[in-house]
Structure 1
């Protein structure tokens, strides 16, 4: 088992599942607090990396397309501190973060995790009912209908039109974008039979917009809940054939190489005695299972 715990949260990997728990500090972003603990199965992971920076860096997880509705609807636009698949790592823990990323990558290589799209969601979708408020409106979704209610920040056009409701069966798509520069963040719903909107976000009755909260609170979770309940697009092309299972010798070599790396990390002080013992036991079990 590999684990890293820092003020921003904790990630734990047992060889099959990555458990992500946000930190308890009051500065943790609203989206991450609302989402809470996330369990990511190994087969949902497309990649993981430690991205170094001057004061430490970030552990960053990439998921396969179609594995998680939140990851898909955000389309890479969720950044720190709102991204639940990114962990801020202080400088003193960068070595452990690099080891953690290596551990997941090595396990993916051993089990030949495919990188293509998933046929179905591998992570739980957001529960309903769900709601979020940002800027000029609140979006409420009960699993069957989306309702938009305007706040005191709404312009006269939205205020005059009043609340808007869309049955899920009328919705063809949902778009979410964070606030950036002088632009607005938006949660916009596309309605069947309607052309793409050319209205500004402040006047679009199919859209909640915000200009202060960069990531719009928990609006991305509402977008994910709607996306997860829309019919999935059929793949245009068949999936490539699965890669052959690795030979037993390849698995043994990978595990033995990892054990040697663990010993080096322990001797250099990157891993504590407890971390080394736990990781070593996990690798030995993997060697026995193979």
Structure 2
């Protein structure tokens, strides 16, 4: 297995997976150190982008470009910068030719993967990028726990508001969750993780320290990094669930004969319409599958 060393860590490539191993220690970036490792299948890659050192000053940059809806970190990482981005590697000029070679290899592998046998939906690939479950994060306010089925917020820390401490905990089953919001500290206000449910409407009006959908983080960069990982992990599993729903809706309807078979086709079209209205199918996907089903009549 070949490897490329950079400032953020070491990237290894075996032809099917790009394994990103991040540096640890007190000088390492907190987010990358907490993530530790990320294995990116080539099926998740759109391309690799190389920027030589002469255009960046003192170092080259190699960036992996992923397919849409694959990257759960960017989906929630409002505070990610170039240094903390998990799919960026920079390095000294002496490894520049090797980095450019790797960029070509990654792009070629990604193109070959697109022409190979059907791969999982992009959203299903996202779960391979996040930490394994169960995932547990502790802050001064309490803890957040995710096991793949339920997100549990527990307010047991010394910094928890009295109302939250009285309630003790709140659990959210994955089907209830619309999205996860992660907001880092701005230096004045502490960061937080917020669970947005399908029945919660718009953005909650309550402040994070009063909101039972929130767990507040402290000002520690390590603590914020762990909370970002939690938000990204839940987001990845939400997206995988959406992909599973689309796949189930797209499965051929059982042939029950006419007229019962015709009724089944129309019921399936109504189900597809519901998924489109909920944002789980695009208009193009809905129309294509609707045409396919009607052609069976």
* TM tier relative to shorter chain: 0.5 to 0.7
1:218-268, CA deviations, whole angstroms, 9 ceiling, x for partnerless residues? 2222223323433315231446x9xxxxxxxxxxxxxxxxxxxxxxxxxxx
Q: Is residue 43 of structure 1 aligned with residue 34 of structure 2?
A: no
Secondary structure of 2:228's partner? helix
Distance 2:150 2:89 in 1: 34
Q: Which has the higher helix share?
A: 2
Q: What corresponds to 1:177 in structure 2?
A: 183
Q: What corresponds to 1:136 in structure 2?
A: 141
Contact persistence 1:7–1:25 (CA under 8 A) = no
In structure 1, list runs of 5 or more residues that go unmatched: 242-290
- Mapping of 1:53-72 within 5 angstroms? 53-68=56-71, 70-71=72-73
Distance 1:93 1:154 in 2: 49
Distance 2:140 2:93 in 1: 36
1:104-146, CA deviations, whole angstroms, 9 ceiling, x for partnerless residues? 23444566579xx945422525422211134534211233322
- Mapping of 1:176-255 within 5 angstroms? 176-180=182-186, 182-196=188-202, 197-210=204-217, 212-214=219-221, 216-230=224-238, 231-232=241-242, 234-238=280-284
Q: Is residue 164 of structure 1 aligned with residue 210 of structure 2?
A: no
Q: What corresponds to 1:16 in structure 2?
A: 16
Deviates more, 1:3-12 or 1:212-221: 212-221
Higher normalized contact order (CA 8 Å, seq sep 6+, divided by chain length): 1
* Number of residue pairs aligned between Structure 1 and Structure 2: 237
1:196-221, CA deviations, whole angstroms, 9 ceiling, x for partnerless residues? 30222232221123352457122222
Distance 1:26 1:146 in 2: 30
Task: Please report how far the alpha carbon of residue 10 of structure 1 lies from its aligned counterpart in structure 2 after TM superposition.
Answer: 0.9
Secondary structure of 1:222's partner? helix
Distance 1:129 1:111 in 2: 30
Could you say if the C-alpha distance between residues 163 and 101 of structure 1 is closer, same or farther in structure 2, counting changes exceeding 3 Å? same
Contact persistence 1:47–1:105 (CA under 8 A) = yes
TM-score by length of 1: 0.66
Q: CA RMSD in A?
A: 3.4
TM-score by length of 2: 0.65
Could you say if the C-alpha distance between residues 163 and 38 of structure 1 is closer, same or farther in structure 2, counting changes exceeding 3 Å? same
Contact persistence 1:185–1:214 (CA under 8 A) = no
Secondary structure of 2:69's partner? coil
Q: What corresponds to 1:148 in structure 2?
A: 153
Secondary structure of 2:5's partner? strand
Q: What corresponds to 1:288 in structure 2?
A: none
